[in-house]
Amino acid sequence: MTFECAETGASGPRPSSEAARVPREDAPHTTPSVVQVDRALHALAISGVHVASRVISDRYIPTLHALERAAVARSVVTRQAEFATGRALLRSLLGEDVPIPIAPDRAPVLPVGVHASLAHDHHLAVAALSRSATVRSIGIDIEPVTELPAEMAAVIVRTDEGPVDAHLAFTLKEAAYKAWSRLGGRMLDFHDVRLEVRADSFVAEVLPTGMLLQGRYVNIGDRWISLVVVQRG
């Protein structure tokens, strides 16, 4: 079972097998507002990292640049809306109306010196971006708070990670993987990442390298949101 980076897809790197895909809810009853999500994101972010969220909407489709439109031309309207909302969100954080094409690993291609990460479910898009010279990489994820079947939990959670909620572990590992992949890291299995989860923060150890990725997370409404920022030094 491997991660595959797809920040332009449904909230980031996904398991490569359909059997391990996490169920999502199209219209949950306790979906947090953008104001609530933005407040939570700002609590997660460090100095120099800008964060924001938007509700997925097809009104952003006409704002796509030609290269971006071509990337989703054959997609259904809901997929185009997810993609376009994410691009509009990244442009708002950039402060520039520039095209943001897709890299071979499906991550957004950004101007030189900019590090960012994007994720979405079927209702909300979230993003984090930095131009700081002290930031090397960013990973963000958003997932619904739902209980996972035991067989899926076993794919995600290592036996030495303790009693951690499987869906929380999923979003923490996705954010960590995004930050890792932006540094040129190889594809990972879920069990290649070992978590140490604390009250509102976590450490993800990439095995067997021993690299430690520091992150923070929050539960807002019926969503888990996680953020990893890799700094220089």
CATH number, residue 137:
3.90.470.20
For residue 144, being part of any structural domain is answered with: yes
pTM for the predicted model, two decimal places: 0.87
Q: Which of 19 and 67 is assigned the larger pLDDT? A: 67
Split at pLDDT 50, 70, 90, the class of 1 is: very low
Per residue in 98-144, pLDDT (tens digit) is 999 998 878 899 999 999 999 999 999 999 999 999 999 999 999 99
* Total residues found in the chain within this entry: 233
pLDDT of residue 2: 53
Task: Tell me: pLDDT of 4 over 50.
Answer: no
Report how many domains make up the chain: 1
Task: Tell me: pLDDT of 22 over 90.
Answer: no
Range of the domain at 212: 3-15+25-231
C-alpha distances out from residue 126 to 101, 141, 226, Å: 18, 8, 10
For residue 186, being part of any structural domain is answered with: yes
Task: Compute the mean pLDDT over every residue in the chain, rounded to the nearest whole number.
Answer: 89
- Residue 73 has a CB neighbour count (10 Å cut-off) of 9
For residue 20, being part of any structural domain is answered with: no
